[in-house]
Homo-oligomer: A and B are copies of this chain.
Amino acid sequence: MTADEPPLSTVDALVQLSFLVQRALAEAGAEHGLSVVQIRLLGVLRDRTAGMLEIGGHLGLDKSSMTGLVSRAEKRGLVRRSPSPHDGRAVLVSLTDEGRRLTEQGAEQIGRRVAALTAGLTEAQRTELTRLAGAVING
């Protein structure tokens, strides 16, 4: 029989859960030398091509932070910069084939690791957790 755990407040439960998930993300990324923010960058580009400002908006980062972030990913061959056909000031960032491969593979591993966190729940509990988390996310 395992030890009883102290009851958690809602706040503590959400904070601790967030750290568990973030650790799973970091560990999945580390297998490929990717930081969490690099994972997020690839995630943003998974379904779209975007300019620096737009990506920064999604990640909550200043445009000056984007330059280095994208350059490091570019140096690793994961993304490319292209000139925008409509605006001479703008660049469009998109995944390379290698970047897309790594994105898909990483998503799979993240899925496995995060799913493993809920392995102790019943299917009904998992469904309910997903529903409640979704309600928080959607306001």
Chain B positions within 8 Å of A61 at CB level: none
Interface string of A1-21 (1 = CB under 8 A from B): 010010111110111111111
Chain B positions within 8 Å of A117 at CB level: 14, 136
Per the bound structure, the CA–CA distance linking A117 and B119 in Å amounts to 25
Contact: B11 with A115, CB < 8 Å?
yes
- How many residues does chain A have at the interface if contact means C-beta atoms less than 8 Å apart? 42
State whether the Cβ of A85 lies closer than 8 Å to any Cβ in chain B.
no
Per the bound structure, the CA–CA distance linking A133 and B5 in Å amounts to 13
Q: Kindly provide the distance from the CB of A1 to the nearest chain B CB, expressed in whole angstroms.
A: 13
State whether the Cβ of A62 lies closer than 8 Å to any Cβ in chain B.
no
State whether the Cβ of A134 lies closer than 8 Å to any Cβ in chain B.
yes
State whether the Cβ of A105 lies closer than 8 Å to any Cβ in chain B.
no
Chain B positions within 8 Å of A16 at CB level: 133, 137
Q: Given A121-B132, A132-B132, 7 more contacts at CB 8 Å?
A: A2-B139, A5-B138, A8-B130, A11-B114, A13-B134, A14-B129, A16-B133
| 10 tightest A-B CB contacts, nearest first | A18-B21, A13-B133, A18-B18, A129-B132, A10-B130, A11-B114, A17-B133, A5-B138, A13-B130, A11-B111
